[in-house]
Chain A
Amino acid sequence: AQSVTQPDIHITVSEGASLELRCNYSYGATPYLFWYVQSPGQGLQLLLKYFSGDTLVQGIKGFEAEFKRSQSSFNLRKPSVHWSDAAEYFCAVGVGDDKIIFGKGTRLHILP
């Protein structure tokens, strides 16, 4: 069955440090891949998406993600986090023309 796994429920990093949030999926073909962010009390906002082509995708707010087919992963990265990046991050996978599956999310905490 198709699934999306975000192994880290919580991650804490210091402001200015680099960040990597992990996302693994289970699907037989190349999926559509998304990262969304949810700030407290708000809905989700798209950070970036991958459909095809270059496997390194640039998004908003300085985020990027790399699709690795061999590892079924789509990890989100940022070279230097800011206090305003504290939020919950969701990886999502569109399977074929059918449905979208969200991971359970990773909550990012930033230390000053």
Chain B
Amino acid sequence: KAGVTQTPRYLIKTRGQQVTLSCSPISGHRSVSWYQQTPGQGLQFLFEYFSETQRNKGNFPGRFSGRQFSNSRSEMNVSTLELGDSALYLCASSLGIAATDTQYFGPGTRLTVL
């Protein structure tokens, strides 16, 4: 089975722009979660989607949004980028919900905001 894939792997944007990141989960997985990883804050939960519905959302501003499609693929959008949004964005998929099931992580998208 193919693993979790994330595109693009690397991205450079400037302040004020917006960005869309994509995640393709493992086939059959219904849950997709997004995390932001930075050296200072560690791994922070952004949101989780299950069967196209947002189950949970972390403590991030409304500039961060996401969605999940009927084929379980997910996108994450960040509008009005700030320097502090520079981070590794990780996507993870699981059969069941993230709190109770093994998550399989993608390699991440490295976002740099200049």
Contacts and interface: CB of A to CB of B under 8 A. Distances in A.
A44 B92 contact: yes
Nearest to A51: B100
B43 A100 contact: no
Interface in B66-114: 90, 92, 97-100, 102-108
B21 interface: no
A43 B99 contact: no
Contact of A97 (B33, B35, B90, B97): B97
Contacts of B106: 43
A102 B99 contact: no
Contacts of B107: 41-43
Contacts of B97: 97
A32 B108 contact: no
A43 B4 contact: yes
A42 B92 CA distance: 12
A108 to B, nearest CB: 15
A44 B99 contact: no
Given A99-B45, A104-B42, A105-B42, A46 B99 contact: no
Interface string A31-73: 0101010000111111001010000000000000000000000
A34 B102 CA distance: 8
A95 B105 contact: no
B37 to A, nearest CB: 9
A99 B103 CA distance: 13
Contact of B45 (A34, A43, A100): A100
B102 A90 contact: no
30 contacts: A34-B102, A41-B107, A42-B107, A43-B90, A43-B105, A44-B43, A44-B105, A45-B105, A51-B100, A90-B43, A94-B98, A95-B99, A96-B99, A97-B97, A97-B99, A97-B100, A98-B99, A99-B45, A99-B48, A99-B56, A99-B98, A99-B99, A100-B33, A102-B35, A102-B43, A102-B44, A102-B45, A104-B41, A104-B43, A105-B43
Interface of A: 32, 34, 36, 41-46, 49, 51, 90, 94-105
